[in-house]
Structure 1
Amino acid sequence: MVFILRSGDAKMIKSAKLHKMVGLILVLPMLAWTVTGLVFFIKPGYQAAYQQLSIKTYPLSQTLTLQAQPNWQEIKIVRSILGQHLLVKQDNSSRHLDLQTLQDKAMPSAPAVKQLLTDAVRQDPERYGEIVNITGLTATTSTGVELSLNWQRLSLSQTGPDTKLINQLYKIHYLQWTGHQVLDQVLGILGLVLLILLTALGIRLYLKARV
């Protein structure tokens, strides 16, 4: 029995082989996109991982009289466990001033930072536990959460093992696998091109089969 291979059949076989090869190349990225996309859709543990941690404030203990400066855009007075704080926005940047001298408030000592952070993490002891290490304006808790104090804004940020895991999943999802920005961008573009090619070849094979 003799089979005659027509040119159209040969092209279809080539398209099928190319479709198969591109599909094999995209197995790992597609698996990564699917798994991480499912995580982003369900968002398990997001609330704790990206919890907004704030300085604990107390009612002001006395009436204050303050002469605002011409270049101040915003003024905020708060009282923490360390005392009163004057927070101003000046020339679109934040400043933390001494309420008496109106000069930049001195950076807190390590015991003061620990006292401030300990007071803040009491709101969720299950997540934060206790402060176990202080380095400058950053601290580590007994549960492995890293805390950072922005003294000029008198604000806090927290990053736990779960936060780092979710951030790593984002890098995997967007093909940021090497840690080099340019190379990761090339990988991302290449992945999209291959995905478009896979789709186009699939449509072509479907139409050819129907003909």
Structure 2
Amino acid sequence: MSEAVLTVSLIIAAYLAGSISSAVLVCRLRGLPDPRTDGSGNPGATNVLRIGGATAAAMVLIFDMLKGALPAYLAFRLGVDAVSLGLIAIAACLGHIFPIFFHFKGGKGVATAFGAMAPIGEDLALSLIGTWIVLVLICRYSSLAAIITAILAPIYTWYFDDRFTIPVAMLSVLIVIRHRDNIHRLLNGEESRISRKKRQPK
């Protein structure tokens, strides 16, 4: 198989894997409201935390990260070049954002993007997770924590393993663009703070 065919095949596979909406599936399995129409309307771990509690949110977070980590790790093991690796990781994120299996209505792609970055190394993974947690504890805005962590991610990557700075930067740009509405709400003081309390059913 030629390198181009391999890359295209991995891009398609990554998109399809990303299109599996864990937020929707977990909510269905646990009898929770559809995260696409309840809470913030974003089918991601943060919204599932709001409507279903920490356990459901953790399940979504882990699966969403795996959707990014597995295609990226497989591509790395197959010797794909850095730019193609970035495209494959972005394909997984685009699958999460525009899932073909769920009417193209998906989440922000943050967990999937960070999952795609995680196989680069434990140091990077811990730095990303630690940065996000500290920022959430300080500001209580999941979106702001994600944006700042995404901006810092290429810097961390350059420090730990500069071979992957370009693909990580590609993912970071996607995350920031995806949060453009959140940025406007943050600037206008209208963004919702994260809550660990499970919303009571009506």
Which range, TM-score by smaller chain?
under 0.3
With the length of structure 2 as denominator, give the TM-score of the two structures: 0.23
With the length of structure 1 as denominator, give the TM-score of the two structures: 0.22
Bigger strand fraction = 1
